[in-house]
Amino acid sequence: MPLPILKSSPALSHSYVFLALALLLILNANAFAQTPSSWPSSQALSAFSGEVSDLVGIWAGDCSQPNGGGYVEIINRTHILAVSQTDSATDVTFDRLEDSWLNHSEDSYRVDGGLLYYQSADVPEEQAVAEKCRALPTSTSLLHGETTTLLLAMPAVQAACEQSTTICANELIAAGDMADTGGLNGADLSRLIRIATYLGTAEGSADGDQILGGQAISLGLAPAIADLVLRSFDYDADRQLSLEEITADGRLLGAGSLSVTDSSSDQLQESLEEGMQRLEGLLRMLQ
């Protein structure tokens, strides 16, 4: 879900942000569209020995330090978000596990007792290089907290998508429904737009200024775009989007019924992607 415009331009187009939101909601292939059967195994990560589930969570050099001891890494079953901080700079990377150091380092890593151990071929004794944190260190929580919360919620959503498209879609809505109202209100949509913007900016790598710039832009635009989405799809005028409203127009989405019984998250993803591509085209016409 690359959003290179965030790294080179002071303004976001409505179509880019709306597409980012759509891709986030449907677990797009670049970021979230993996189910348990396609999660990387420990054998697939050449530098890590152990179960991938052992890696899920928040890791830092020192959880008690505001900056995490210089680096913080958020890992779910498919991706890793890394934040490194010094007094003068912040760097952020967002990669698939297969593209990260867990798969490409010449050294070896393992998890034991809440600690991540590292062993170099040049040093015979392994060292603990990170510890598992209960929450984000304080200086990283404000800027990176929303994205972290959603990333760590995704394994449960991905597991639901292995069961049926109906359960998958309901869990997707629940992941964004902060007030547990059964739908996405304006604040929920704004939050998802901010997260989509963050991940689009961080994909590959970005510096702290780029992350802050993207978030500043989305903070201003997200409420307006969320209102546009609500006015476009909130058919019962209750100021929130339900799953039924999002998939109401079968001619637009080409999704048909979501009440299929087989494990077909790919079908849901493909049909919604097609609909979102058409929506993006409509938005381009309005610019």
pLDDT band for 132, please (50, 70, 90 cuts): very high
Neighbour order of strands in the sheet with 206-207: 48-49, 108-112, 115-119, 127-133, 57-60, 71-75, 79-85, 90-96, 206-207
The pLDDT assigned to 136 comes to 95
The pLDDT assigned to 35 comes to 53
Task: Say whether pLDDT at 133 is over 90.
Answer: yes
Q: Tens of pLDDT along 149-181? A: 988 988 887 777 777 777 777 887 888 889 888
Closest CA to 162 of 254, 45, 1, 27: 27
The pLDDT assigned to 265 comes to 44
The pTM (predicted TM-score) of the whole model is 0.74
Q: Tens of pLDDT along 12-34? A: 333 333 444 444 444 333 344 45
% the chain with pLDDT above 70: 71
Task: Say whether pLDDT at 130 is over 50.
Answer: yes
- CA angle (71, 74, 76) in 5-degree steps: 155
Task: Say whether pLDDT at 188 is over 60.
Answer: yes
- The structural domains of the chain, with segments of one domain joined by +, span 1-35+162-287, 39-136
- CA angle (178, 180, 182) in 5-degree steps: 115
Q: Which residue type does 225 have? A: I
274's tokens: 């097609």
Task: Say whether pLDDT at 271 is over 80.
Answer: no
Higher pLDDT, 73 or 13: 73
The pLDDT assigned to 24 comes to 46
The span from the CA of 128 to the CA of 280, in Å, is 47
Closest CA to 57 of 161, 148, 177: 148
DSSP string, 18-35: HHHHHHHHTT-TTTT---
The pLDDT assigned to 83 comes to 94
Mean pLDDT taken over the chain: 75
User: Chain-centre distance of CA 95, in angstroms?
Assistant: 11
The pLDDT assigned to 2 comes to 34
Contacts 24+ apart (CB under 8 A), 226-231: 226/186, 226/187, 226/189, 226/190, 226/193, 227/186, 228/14, 229/18, 229/21, 229/189, 230/185, 230/186, 230/189
Q: Tens of pLDDT along 35-51? A: 555 667 766 788 898 88
45's tokens: 């990560």
Task: Say whether pLDDT at 194 is over 60.
Answer: yes
